[in-house]
Amino acid sequence: MRKTTLFALLVLSLPAWGQPLQNASTLNIETIMQGERFVGFLPENPFWAEDGKFIYFSWNPGQDTLRSLYKVSARGGAPQMVSAEEQRGLSSRGVYTRDRSRKVFEKNGDLFLLDIPHNQLLTVTATLEDEHRPLFSGDEQSVVYQRGVNLFAWNCTDGSTVQLTPFQHGSPVTEAPQLAYEEWLEKDQLELFEVLRERKAEEGARQRQRETLEPKLPKTIYLESRSLQDWKISPDLRYVVYQLQTNGTGGSTKVPAYVSESGFVEYSSARPKVGSPQRKLQTFIYDRARDTSYALHLDSLPGMFDKPAFLKAYETDTAPGDSLYHAPRATVVHGPYFSEDGKAVAEVKALDNKDRWIVLVDLADGSVRSLERQHDDAWIGGPGISGWNFAGGKLGWVDDQTLFFQSEETGYSHLYVLNVDTGKKTALTSGAFEIIEADLSQDKQTFFITSNKESPHERHFYRMPVKGGRMERLTMEPGSHQVVLSPDEKSMAVLYSYSNKPWELYVKETAFNSPMRQLTASTTEAFRAYSWRDPEIVYFTARDGVKVPARIYRPENAQAGGPAILFVHGAGYLQNVHRWWSSYYREYMFHNLLADNGYTVLDIDYRASEGYGRDWRTAIYRHMGGKDLEDQIDGADYLVKEWGIDPARIGIYGGSYGGFITLMALFTSPGTFQCGAALRSVTDWAHYNHPYTSNILNTPVEDSIAFRQSSPIYFAEGLQDRLLILHGMVDDNVQFQDVVRLAQRLIELGKDNWEFAVFPVESHGFVEPSSWADEYKRIYRLMEETLK
């Protein structure tokens, strides 16, 4: 029976190609799906030379096999490839002294100290072991680093090295206790033989002598079955705050690769599924002066024992719920972060995703005092906060009394300062926009900020006094600006793009009225030969009265009653309605091709998308396929009413989260879309990963309602319109099992209006141009056959 089912599945994956695809555009799918080979390799990852004279960046103007490191003078001129010899002494990362005269960095497992004024590079370590995470001590006389599971301090003056921690893998070796008969025999032997008594006394004397002469060493701290996950050290090197991890017991998933060099099926391990037992973290403080270690005490934090609000949905009159747990919730600690005078603050996140605390840590005893609690019944997240529990948010010191951080307290992520002595909190920014990124200037007198203050569809760079005030805009052109400041902060390296203009590297002074000078020209002649659309940004009104943003691509001389396609971006929390070069650039080019062939394309930033504040971000809590799907259906209605689209000629497609929405649309709103293409789609959220899914749906055991109403596989019986499923077989993110399970469900339901295309060598993000082209030719054929 299984062999018959599999054969049927494979037949469905091979639609007849027959006649060639009709295409009225000068573009063709095979060409645009070449990706960077067609567009050009755009500059990436710029960083400044330490003297500010050159800007380094990744580039490939010659379309070689791999990218290379290039540099260009900040004054302009032709970029040059950087030699291997020069690259050996470079690092885009590192830690500086306060006056930026020295920089310590790790490269290839060894440490280096750069004297910046004299451009002299000193090798700190050259060993077969890896040394990493270097930083300067508070007095900047030592470099602290990690080797193995221990910390060391290298003296910058005399080159001596001191081990700072006594960590050791495993457990202490203990002698088994003597059995009673062994103890009796030993005692009897000593009573009978004088020579044995003398030798025992002599050995005892030698042992006492050795102990007297040996240096006093710290007591070993055994990690047992745990691993050293993170550490921070106080400026005076007295306190080491360290985190130990116990791995989760949830089994990893296996991903088979059927096309391999060996000719055998090869398996790789991938992430566990949501709700599986997760890793546990414990935070301790090692006091080097007292040679003692103790835990960080978090039980006193407000709300530490609170149960999440969603559990009330499972209460009944006969089984009312308790609002408190009997034990504190599991947490992860980021930091602490130290002021120059040694104060320590840390960020604590609850692993159920509902709370974030900023705490002042008493290093002497491990107690904490809550300075700020951020709570969300949905999940904590937003710019500068991070929705990922194991990624810390923005948190730092303005001075020895004042912290800065971000919060969604007003519904948008904004910048705040807080006095740790008085507890007074002050908002430095406010309004219906978000602070995307905020960093202190070197002199701590200015914040440099990236924000969408001008428009949710643009990102600009600003500066603002550290005590607040006017955000001075430093970039002019519409679009997006990714800025890297020069070492003296007087110039900016800018990666800039617009909707139909790919990213290029520019330089300008750190002032609004200074022009940007372009340093790279990366696009190919073939790319430049086409007049790429600047899609109009429109808003339509959803059924609940909310204004929803979208980008629209229109054919020239569009006729009433024409066809339309809705594109659904992936990730959920991602923005694609904007005025910069999209990360979905292949799809952007495909939409131009569609418009050339008479299709109107609508690309919506549906509820859950990035850039529109907390309520937009969390609108899908406990119901993916709710508001986000309604926005797609309302978008289709908008196309009919406002743009004259034929309601019987609308399709939908998207990948990952977009594929999930496509499935939900066809399964739960039949007739709205006459066809849909679902790429690398989640079909059952109980089979996706824990960090992403538990934020939005909690876990399947605790919140089965949320998972059932959010998973397409439970609604497959609603399929009436044409469906094309496309998936990579070595996808270690949304795994191939997801769509195989859905295929079996559709077979059992007797559905015959669907097709299944598999890509044997592709993971979640396709790599091979041939796979991209095959995928999009199938999508285009589906549209042509169904909507034309």
Distance in angstroms (rounded) separating the CA atoms of residues 476 and 652: 36
How many residues are listed for the chain in this entry? 788
Among 89, 122, 119, 124, CA closest to 101: 119
> How far lies 161's CA from each of 124, 143, 156, in Å?
10, 9, 10
pLDDT digits (tens, 9 = 90+) for 122-181: 999 999 999 999 999 999 999 999 999 999 999 999 999 999 999 999 999 888 898 999
Note the pLDDT tens digit of each residue in 280-337. Answer: 999 999 999 999 999 999 999 999 999 999 999 998 876 677 889 999 999 999 999 9
* Residue 724 to residue 742: CA distance in whole angstroms: 12
| Exposed e or buried b per residue across 465-479, where buried means at least 16 C-beta atoms within 10 angstroms of its C-beta | ebebeebeebbebeb
Q: Give tens-digit pLDDT for 629-677.
A: 999 999 999 999 999 999 999 999 999 999 999 999 999 999 999 999 9
705 near 313, Cβ under 8 Å?
yes
**H/E/C letters for each residue in 542-608?**
CCCCCEEEEEEECCCCCCCCCCEEEEECCCCCCCCCCCCCCCCHHHHHHHHHHHHCCCEEEEECCCC
Count CA atoms closer than 13 A to 699's CA, side-chain side: 15
Would you state the pLDDT for residue 316? 81
Q: In which band, very low, low, confident or very high, does the pLDDT at 507 lie, cut at 50, 70 and 90? A: very high
Q: Is the pLDDT of residue 19 over 60?
A: no
Q: Residue 13's pLDDT is what?
A: 39
Report the C-alpha gap between 395 and 414 in whole angstroms: 13
Confidence bin at 250 (pLDDT 50/70/90): confident
Residues 495 and 481: beta-carbon distance below 8 Å? yes
What is the torsion angle, in degrees rounded to the nearest 10, for the CA atoms of residue 522, residue 527, residue 529 and residue 534? Answer: -100
For residue 14, pLDDT over 60 is answered with: no
**Rounded Cα gap, residues 652 and 565, in angstroms:** 5
- Residues with Cβ within 8 Å of 69's Cβ and at least 6 positions away in sequence, in order, are 56, 57, 58, 59, 81, 82, 87, 90
Task: Looking at 23-66, list the stretches that DSSP marks H as alpha helix, in order from N- to C-terminal side.
Answer: 29-32, 36-39
**Chain-centroid distance, C-alpha 571:** 11
Residue 322 has what pLDDT?
85
Q: What is the pLDDT of residue 318?
A: 67
**pLDDT one-digit tens code per residue, 39-64:** 999 999 999 999 999 999 999 999 99
* Model confidence at 15: pLDDT above 80: no
Contact indicator for 504, 518 with CB cutoff of 8 Å:
yes
| Mean pLDDT (whole number) for 752-766 | 97
Judge contact between 154 and 124, C-beta under 8 A. Answer: yes
pLDDT at residue 20, as a whole number: 58
pLDDT given for residue 25 in this prediction? 80
3-state secondary structure 642-672: HHCCCCCCEEEEEECHHHHHHHHHHHHCECC
The set of residues, in sequence order, having a beta carbon less than 8 Å from that of 651 and lying 6+ positions away, is 563, 564, 565, 566, 673, 674, 675, 676, 677, 782, 783, 786, 787
Pick from 110, 175, 180: nearest CA to 145: 110
Element (H, E) at 359: strand 355-361
Please determine, for residue 758, whether its predicted confidence score (pLDDT) is greater than 80. yes
**175-185 confidence digits (pLDDT tens):** 889 899 999 99
Q: Which residues of 164-183 are buried (b: 16+ CB within 10 A; e: fewer)?
A: bbbbeeeeeeeeeeeeeeee
Residue 514 CB neighbour total at 10 angstroms: 14
Q: Which pTM was predicted? A: 0.93
Which tokens sit at 753?
A: 């209006």
pLDDT computed for residue 60 by the predictor: 98
| Average per-residue pLDDT for the chain | 95
DSSP helix/strand/coil, 692: helix
Here the tokens at position 315 are 């209460």
With a pLDDT cut of 70, the percent of the chain lying above it is 97
Cite the DSSP H helix spans in 699-768.
704-710, 736-748
Q: Are 652 and 568 in contact (CB under 8 A)?
A: yes
> What pLDDT, on the 0 to 100 scale, is given for residue 174?
87
What does the alpha-carbon distance between residue 70 and residue 207 come to, in Å, rounded to a whole number?
Answer: 63
CA distance 363 to 296: 9
pLDDT digits (tens, 9 = 90+) for 557-597: 898 999 999 999 999 999 999 999 999 999 999 999 999 99
Sheet holding 331-338, edge to edge: 331-338, 344-350, 355-361, 368-375
Spatial distance between the Cα atoms of 456 and 434, rounded to a whole number of angstroms: 8
Listed in sequence order, the residues at least 6 apart from 155 whose beta carbon sits closer than 8 Å to its beta carbon are 141, 142, 161, 162
**How many CA atoms does the CB half-sphere of 558 hold within 13 Å?**
22
Encode pLDDT of 376-410 as tens digits: 999 999 999 999 999 999 999 999 999 999 999 99
